[in-house]
Amino acid sequence: MNDLARTSPEHFFSDRFNVTPSLMERLLGGSLAGRVDDADIYLEYRVNEELVLEEGVVKKASRHVSQGAGVRAQAETRTGYAHTDDISLANLEEAARQARAIADRASTSGVLVVPGRGRAHDLYTLAEPPIVTALDRKLDLLRKIDAAARAADPRIAQVIASVASEEIVMLIATASGWTIGDVRPLTRLNVTVIAEENGKREIGAWGGGGRVPFDFFLEGERWTRFANEAARQAILKLRSVDAPAGTMTVVLGPGWPGILLHEAIGHGLEGDFNRKGVSAFAGRLGQKVASELVTVVDDGTIPNRRGSLNVDDEGTPTGRTVLIENGVLTAYMQDRLNARLMKMTPTGNGRRESYAHPPMPRMTNTFMLAGQDDPEEIIRSVPNGLYAVTFGGGQVDITSGKFVFSASEAYLIENGRVTAPVKGATLIGNGPDALTRVSRVGHDLALDEGVGTCGKDGQSVPVGVGLPTIRIDGMTVGGTQV
C-alpha cells in the first residue's frame, strides 16, 4: 500500500490490471460513441481497515480489499449502468455493451458533454497515508483513549474506541476524450462511552478525522479531547431534565449542528431534485428563499477535510459553490447529467459510493458563512428558549422541506443564560421556512470534526458540515414537558 500512495492512478491500473487510459478511451469509442449523449468508465481499487477496542479487548480487526469498474451510458434522461468486480478487458467490454443497451435511444446525435469548470487540485497528498500506519501504533492509541475516558469520571462504565482508515485509487475516462485519476486517503477516530449512576445509563460519543495522516490524532493530543468529550456528554446526560415542548426561539451552536442545514436545506439544493421539480427550491433561482443574513456554501476544495475531493466521481474538479447568497438562491449542486439536462455547468458534485453505484449530485462540505454577531450576545438576546449543541438522527422530506431532528445535547435558555441540560428535544420544521426565521448569525463559523456520512438513494459518502452560532425564531420544539 505504500506504493499505492506514490503511484499515479494511470500507472497503478496499467501495471496491476493492464488497463490504460487509451484502452478505456477505445472502449468508450467502440461500444458507446454515436449512440448516447454521454458515457464514462470508472475504475476503483479500495483498501479498508478497522480496529475496534471494547472493554480493553480487541473486538474487531479487519482489512478488506475491493476492486471493480463501472460503465455508464446516458441518453437524454435515461442512464444505463453496468459494473464488474473483475477488471479485465472482456468484462469491461461486456459492461459497456450492457450500459449502452439500457440507455440506447437509437440516435446518432453523438456525445454532447457539458464541460466541467476549474482545474484539478492537490488537497490531501500525504507522506504516510493512514492505511499504512502500523496496527500496533493504532492499538496503542485506542488503549490510551480507553484509559483516558475511564479516568475522566468514576461513573464511566464502558468504553468503545475505534479507528477506521481507507485508501481509494480511482481512474475515470470520459467519452469526450480525457482521463483523470485520484488517490484518496480517509481516516476517522471514534470514542463511545456509557456512564452509569443509580441504575441510569447514558451514552456519549465523539470523534473526528478527515483526509489526514494517523498522526493528526496525536497532534496536541487531539485524541485526549475526543475521549474527554465523549465522557463529558455521557455524564452530562445523567443530570439532564425533560425537554420542554412548544414554539420557541432556538439557538444552534457552531460546528456539528450544521447537519441540520445539510439535511433540511442541502439535499433540496441538489440538481436532480430540482430538475425533476420535486424540491421545495425547484424553479426558484434568483428568488429570496432565506433571511438576508444567510449565505450557504458547498465547498469541496478545503484541504484535508472529510468531504473534500480533488475531482468528483465523474472527473470534474470540485469547486466552491455559493448556493444561497444574502438570502437569495443562486445555484444548485450539479453532476454532469443534471447539468446537461438543465443547461447548466457541472459544479464538481457528482459522487458515488463505489464502482458499483452510478454517480448523482451530492454535497461535499456544506456550511453557512459567519455573520457579525457575538455568540454570547445571541444567547443573551433570548429570554427563554433552547440551545442545541449536538444533533443525532433526523428525517427530511425533500419535496415539502419538512424535517424532524433529535438534539443529543441541548440546554434551556432562561433569562438570556444557558441553564439545565435537557433530553428528548426534537426540532420540527420546514427547511425553507426555517431559513427565513434566522434573525442572528454569529462570527464563530466552525466545521465539524470530520465524522459526517450522508445517505441518499441507498448510497453513503463522506461529507462535512458547518455552522456559526445562529438564532432561529418561532421554531417548533418537541419534548416531554408541555
One digit per residue, the tens of pLDDT, for the chain of length 482 reads: 444 546 799 999 999 999 998 888 888 876 665 567 888 999 999 999 999 999 999 999 999 999 999 999 888 888 889 999 999 999 998 888 888 787 765 444 444 444 444 567 899 999 999 999 999 999 999 999 999 999 999 999 999 999 999 999 999 998 777 899 999 999 999 999 999 999 999 999 999 999 999 999 999 999 999 999 999 999 999 999 999 999 999 999 999 999 989 988 999 999 999 999 999 999 999 999 999 999 999 999 999 999 999 999 999 999 999 999 999 999 999 999 999 999 999 999 999 999 999 999 999 999 999 999 999 999 999 999 999 999 987 788 888 888 999 999 999 999 999 999 999 999 999 988 999 999 999 999 999 999 999 999 999 999 999 999 999 999 999 987 55
**What is the number of helices (H) and of strands (E) in the chain?**
11, 24
Q: Are residues 269 and 408 in the same domain?
A: yes
Number of other CB atoms surrounding residue 11 within 10 Å: 14
* Chosen domain end from 215, 238, 261: 238
Q: Are residues 171 and 269 in the same domain?
A: no
Kindly state the cell numbers that stand for 398.
425533500
Give the number of domains in the chain.
Answer: 2
Range of the domain at 363: 242-478
* DSSP state letter for 401: -
Q: Are residues 366 and 222 in the same domain?
A: no
Please calculate the CA angle 456-458-459 and round it to the nearest 5 degrees.
70
* Chosen domain end from 199, 215, 238: 238
H/E segment holding residue 21: helix 21-31
* Chosen domain end from 207, 238, 269: 238
Q: Are residues 226 and 249 in the same domain?
A: no
Supply the CATH number for residue 17's domain.
3.30.2290.10
Q: Which of 234, 56, 226, 237 has the alpha carbon at shortest distance from 154?
A: 234
Is the CB of residue 16 less than 8 Å from the CB of residue 104? Answer: no
pTM beyond 0.85, yes or no: yes
Amino acid residing at 286: G
Q: What is the CA radius of gyration of the chain?
A: 24
* DSSP state letter for 369: P
Q: Are residues 216 and 344 in the same domain?
A: no
Q: Are residues 267 and 325 in the same domain?
A: yes
**d(C-alpha 344, C-alpha 409), whole Å:** 41
Q: Are residues 164 and 22 in the same domain?
A: yes
Q: Are residues 228 and 249 in the same domain?
A: no
Q: Are residues 26 and 89 in the same domain?
A: yes
Q: Are residues 194 and 329 in the same domain?
A: no
In this structure, the chain runs to a length of 482
Q: Are residues 393 and 438 in the same domain?
A: yes
Maximum distance among all Cα pairs of the chain, rounded to whole angstroms: 74
Kindly state the cell numbers that stand for 296.
450557504
Amino acid residing at 457: D
Q: Are residues 296 and 361 in the same domain?
A: yes
